[in-house]
Amino acid sequence: MMTRILPATSDVLNQAGAQTAGIFANGIGMWEAVTVASAGAFAAIIFGSYVYKTTEKERERTKRDVAAYMAEGSISTEDAERVLSARPPKK
């Protein structure tokens, strides 16, 4: 059994459709816009993951370098601790 949309609801949907049609008047359909937005969100997630992974990799490399400098006696234990505890300034 199929339900029918009430006339008042139908009018509201038609008005909303008319307003939406103004946004997409240049030929871009609703599904194309959703697809582009989804692709953009996916790209942002991938890029964010890449940046996070790269940052963590560089942080680990710094720890190894500081440990090597400390082992050869180039820097003191206090200096190594200060380097490792430092964080970059927030933007």
Quick: pLDDT tens for 32-87: 888 989 999 999 999 999 999 999 999 899 999 999 999 999 999 999 999 888 87
- Is 52 a domain residue? yes
Domain limits at 64? 46-91
Quick: pLDDT tens for 27-37: 667 788 889 89
- Is 25 a domain residue? no
- The span from the first CA to the last CA of the chain, in angstroms, equals 59
- Is 39 a domain residue? no
Domain count of the chain?
1
Cα dihedral 29, 13, 19, 39 sign: negative
Q: pTM for this one?
A: 0.54
How far is 24 from 45, CA to CA, in rounded Å?
26
How far is 64 from 62, CA to CA, in rounded Å?
5
